[in-house]
Amino acid sequence: MIEPPNASDPSVSSSERTDPTESVTVHYAKTHLSRLLREVATAGAEYVISRGDTPVARLVPIARPEPVRAFGAMRGRLVIPESFHDPLPDAELDAWGAD
């Protein structure tokens, strides 16, 4: 089976791979499970785990539900200055083409 190129080099990103699904051996998957999980979780990589020449499993990212936005979640984190409501200077209005 093919092992991921430069698997020990963390600087190799998933965008540098030519095949979107890498094939790894069971031994490699057991030895490097944390690294494979990190690639799956952060870069969306997919791996086929094979015993000999026979594929037996696929390691793929799970679809996560998008978090629901909570009303007021930014309360206290954002400050709008009083000058926000002041009229724009004439130079600014001219730059926007205002009459």
According to the model, what pLDDT value does residue 14 have?
A: 43
Half-sphere exposure for 31 (CA within 13 Å, toward CB): 8
Mean pLDDT of 66-82: 85
5-23 pLDDT per residue, tens: 444 444 344 444 445 689 9
Each residue of 31-54: pLDDT tens digit? Answer: 999 999 999 988 889 999 999 999
Q: Domains, the chain, ranges and CATH?
A: 14-59 (3.40.1620)
Neighbours of 17 (CB within 10 A): 15
CA pair distance 17, 51, nearest whole angstrom = 22
